[in-house]
Structure 1
Amino acid sequence: MKKKKILKGNSNFEYIVANGGYFVDKTMLVKEFLENADHVLLMPRPRRFGKTLNLSMIEHFFDVNKKESKALFSEYKISAEKEFCEANQNIYPVINITLKSARGENWESCFGSLKKKVTELYRRHKYLLKSDNLENYEQQYVEKIILEKGTQSDYKFSLFNLSQYLNKHFGRKAIILLDEYDTPIITGFTKNYYDEIISFMQVFMGEAFKDNNYMRKGLITGIMRIARESIFSELNNLGVYTVTNFRFSDMFGFTEKETKDALEYFELGKNFRDVQRWYNGYKFGNIDRIYNPWSIVSYLSRYEEGLKPYWINTGADPLIKERILETDIDRTYDTLQKLISGDTIEKELHEDFVFADFKTDRELLWTLLTFSGYLTQAGHIEEETYRLKIPNFEISRVFKNIIIKWLNADIKVHKELLSKTLQHLTNNRIPEFEKGFKKIMGDTPKNRGRLFSYFDAKGEPENVYQAYVLGMLAIIGDDYIIRSNRESGEGRYDILLIPHDKKKYGIVMEIKQLKKEGGQPEKKMAGKINSALSAAMEQIENNKYYKELLDH
């Protein structure tokens, strides 16, 4: 049997299977979707987690126009469901539209993109122009959309109208699949045409999915559930299945077994532990180990290049990038440091996301980060409160880069100086490190006031330096596990650096602060410094802070 290959970047189910592509079997989603009690389902997931491919799979299974598709499913799980396949395969007309690229710098540009998407959809159903079951005015409407000559109102009702025409032509209700519905909405928020896009989508989606007698079933994907006046508020039978829900939790992203199977198939099983560290860590519903599918597929297709931040390199979500970098450093810095150190944070997740509140409620940042795939749940505490963490090494790099940008922009520490100074530290060149560290501290007597005064005001003078040093250490995060304030031996260390390469030095840091009194002689101050350093070393030795380092 010919070995399957990785066909990266293609989300067409038929193309992948027909061309010998490796496909992780998610075909039972077809049955679970149709048999679900909800008339319309919303399944938000992070970008590039298989949403478009899953909708293509569903389309090819049900679409009455794809009679030849039965062979595509013959080696997958759904083919064992004989009665279900007999009753439903290639039975329904299907509407499948993605709004993934429906965006623009202004509303006119965005609407132009939406028109093109709808036109492409109608052209796939151009046979309706010759349907004996449609009235002349209905065929004229179809022609108008195909020729891109419709009014804005025409396009608002285009999904509903198409479901009606398909029902009249085939005598069966249509399945409606809408992919990445929130892309134009999120872009509208960042580009200041939010009201216009919401006004359009309320009709475009509302007419298609609310009380539509021509629809057999509806499925919507995106990143989050957006609430306002709202697109979803009037849908009577909407089932929402986010990353916190149990149902459908294994249908997007790869489970650990699926990941192991793929690695073994391509003879890369020996690299599983490294792959696990880089791309594992998501918890969706009751599934603890979900892997980033885009990164796994990218690695399989270019394994000789090694492990890389493939998902991150596809481009950050514009809203994420804008909102994090604009967030007040005083409010967020220590929380991000806690996450980078491998700890969890407790935050509320609001599944109904209101953009109007986003400008004033900074806590919504954590909801956005979680549903976008930059954080994941580590445990459910109560109601909407969850423990959150960074899912894996790939994502930790994002937060480390944010810290570095903050240090550079807000505290005027340059990356080159940081990098050189930290190389001295990790190579055990302590005098050179001391010199560089003093230079860094001396370069920022005024600018670090924003960060330092925040901690000083809390009465935690040593924490300011710990937070500052942790921020600096982010630059070497690729080579070290960086932890802080954890129990080791018989106490809690301030900072611990655990090298991934066992040949490199491990480092324990204990931070002390001394206050220089006015007019105090340098000699006396030097004595106090030496005493503090001795006390710190004694504390490390007596409390065995190095135990975690040796055990790793």
Structure 2
Amino acid sequence: MVETNNRRLPVGIQSFEKIRKEGYLYVDKTDIIWQLANTDKTYNYLSRPRRFGKSVLVDTLEAYFTGKKELFEGLKIMEMEKEWVKRPVIRLDMSQAGARPETVRSYLDNAFHTLETEYGIVVRQDSSLAVRFKNIIEGAYNETGQQVAILIDEYDSPLQHSWKTPQHEACTSIYREVFAILKADDKYEKFVFITGITKFTQISLFSVLNNLSNISFEPEYAAICGITKEELLRDFKPEINKLAEYEGWTFDEAVAQLTAYYDGYHFSRRNMVDVFNPFSLINALADSDLKNYWASSGATSLLPKFVDDMDIRLKDFDNCALLSTIIETSDVTGGGSELFLYQSGYLTIKGYMNGTYLLGIPNFEVKQALSEIVLPTLAMRKSNDIQSTQA
């Protein structure tokens, strides 16, 4: 019997500190994280699909910038970082902000109040959210003497969920008001990092921050989220052996099955390293079972908002072309259904030729989700739409 009882896999855990302090297995990406944190580009944006490890990445960056050296003992970053400067960190998780303007304002009001208390900032009663954000950035700098790191996780969550509702424009206007401050206060900022799934270019993060660097397609960051085959074989051998034993497979057969189910993502045409969906892979290894973890986690819930205009045939998903200008720079609300399918993880880069990306379904898990969950849902709604127009 393969012994894996003393190994702890971080199923559903997004706290880097918890992973490190409580002995969960951590796939070491701190060399790439150090490179990102020390780039000469102040403003950085990373798009990756849902459940792909963006929040753990943000949490690791927060631990780095707050100088928690003890959490990184034994990791690659220890060979690279010599100073461990403790900086003030402003972190916002917009997935907690709801999808209505009042919930977005309430979330920011609460987050700003916590930061104002931390840095001893006196707030005037009539201060707008934008003024408060500006005062927090400058106050944190003045209090500590260090430039600030600003981390905004899942920036697009309220915009995705409010899209095609009367609340969307009001949510967008809050973003324009508040986040325009980032550019105005650049001298106080060391590093600004924004994660998301989809790109809404009409908000200030993209229209005002014209120097925002989209690192989503950069070759050096192709594997910053997710797990590569090399990392799977290096870090998860006991769990692979356990799965093989349960199913009556050899080790190599177990790897081949995991690859077919959960691998196949590519995020850079200049670095086509295969990347596994980390949420699905870790769940499968923890359960010693191959199931559709990603779709059942709610990863399909937003699809009908963005693909209601397409001819729904599975073969069209698995062989489509998209111009590089659309996939790299376009707004999800105007880029067509293929753009949303790529950004949300249903399609991935399969090749590149003459300014055009070739896209396809990454793996069996996604194909199964599309055929068994997504397409029937869309077809049912399309049928209902037809019936309602005929009624």
Above 0.5 in TM-score? yes
Matches within 5 A, 1:361-380: 364-380=336-352
Instruction: Say if 1:205 and 1:318 are closer, same or farther in 2 by CA, change over 3 A.
Output: farther
Kindly indicate whether residue 362 of structure 2 is the aligned counterpart of residue 391 of structure 1: yes
Partner in structure 1 of residue 51 of structure 2: 48
Instruction: Say if 1:46 and 1:410 are closer, same or farther in 2 by CA, change over 3 A.
Output: closer
Matches within 5 A, 1:419-430: none
* Structure 1 residue 274, shift from structure 2 partner: 1.2
Kindly indicate whether residue 210 of structure 2 is the aligned counterpart of residue 227 of structure 1: no
Partner in structure 2 of residue 264 of structure 1: 237
Kindly indicate whether residue 186 of structure 2 is the aligned counterpart of residue 191 of structure 1: no
Counterpart among 167, 172, 191 of residue 217 in structure 1: 191
Counterpart among 132, 136, 154 of residue 162 in structure 1: 136
Instruction: Say if 1:165 and 1:411 are closer, same or farther in 2 by CA, change over 3 A.
Output: closer
Give the conservation status (yes or no) of the 8 Å contact 1:175–1:217: yes
Which secondary structure state, in structure 2, belongs to the residue aligned with residue 91 of structure 1? coil
- Structure 2 distance, partners of 1:317, 1:408, is 15
- Structure 1 distance, partners of 2:316, 2:206, is 36
Of 41-50 and 255-264, deviating more is: 255-264
Partner in structure 2 of residue 109 of structure 1: 103
The one-letter amino acid of 2:206's match is F
The one-letter amino acid of 1:310's match is Y
Equivalenced residue count is 368
* Structure 1 residue 39, shift from structure 2 partner: 1.4
Partner in structure 2 of residue 524 of structure 1: none
Give the conservation status (yes or no) of the 8 Å contact 1:160–1:212: no
1:473-498 CA-to-partner distances (Å, cap 9, x unmatched) read xxxxxxxxxxxxxxxxxxxxxxxxxx
Partner in structure 1 of residue 119 of structure 2: 128
Structure 1: stretches of 5+ with no match in the other structure: 130-138, 145-149, 413-446, 448-552
Partner in structure 1 of residue 35 of structure 2: 32
- Structure 2 distance, partners of 1:408, 1:231, is 36
1:319-351 CA-to-partner distances (Å, cap 9, x unmatched) read 313333x33xxx5234x3344xxx522233433
1:270-315 CA-to-partner distances (Å, cap 9, x unmatched) read 2211111110010121133100011112122222xx1111111111
Which secondary structure state, in structure 1, belongs to the residue aligned with residue 90 of structure 2? strand
The one-letter amino acid of 1:101's match is Q
Matches within 5 A, 1:337-352: 337-339=315-317, 343-348=318-323, 349-352=326-329
The one-letter amino acid of 1:38's match is K
- Structure 2 distance, partners of 1:7, 1:393, is 23
Which secondary structure state, in structure 1, belongs to the residue aligned with residue 46 of structure 2? strand
Partner in structure 2 of residue 63 of structure 1: 66
Matches within 5 A, 1:66-145: 69-81=68-80, 85-87=81-83, 89-104=84-99, 106-119=100-113, 121-122=114-115, 126-129=117-120, 139-141=121-123
Partner in structure 2 of residue 459 of structure 1: none
Instruction: Say if 1:50 and 1:408 are closer, same or farther in 2 by CA, change over 3 A.
Output: closer
- Structure 1 distance, partners of 2:209, 2:40, is 14
Kindly indicate whether residue 273 of structure 2 is the aligned counterpart of residue 288 of structure 1: yes
Of 289-298 and 106-115, deviating more is: 106-115
1:392-418 CA-to-partner distances (Å, cap 9, x unmatched) read 111001221344446666679xxxxxx
* Structure 1 residue 163, shift from structure 2 partner: 1.7
Give the conservation status (yes or no) of the 8 Å contact 1:97–1:118: no
Partner in structure 2 of residue 508 of structure 1: none
Kindly indicate whether residue 332 of structure 2 is the aligned counterpart of residue 332 of structure 1: no
The one-letter amino acid of 2:312's match is Y
- Structure 2 distance, partners of 1:217, 1:265, is 38
* Structure number with larger C-alpha Rg: 1
Q: What RMSD, in angstroms, separates the aligned Cα atoms of the two structures?
A: 2.7
Give the conservation status (yes or no) of the 8 Å contact 2:183–2:208: no
The one-letter amino acid of 1:354's match is D
Give the conservation status (yes or no) of the 8 Å contact 1:283–1:377: yes
Instruction: Say if 1:301 and 1:345 are closer, same or farther in 2 by CA, change over 3 A.
Output: same
The one-letter amino acid of 1:57's match is T
Instruction: Say if 1:287 and 1:235 are closer, same or farther in 2 by CA, change over 3 A.
Output: same
- Structure 2 distance, partners of 1:281, 1:93, is 38
Kindly indicate whether residue 232 of structure 2 is the aligned counterpart of residue 249 of structure 1: no
- Higher RCO, 1 or 2 (CA under 8 Å, sep at least 6)? 2
- Structure 1 distance, partners of 2:369, 2:94, is 26
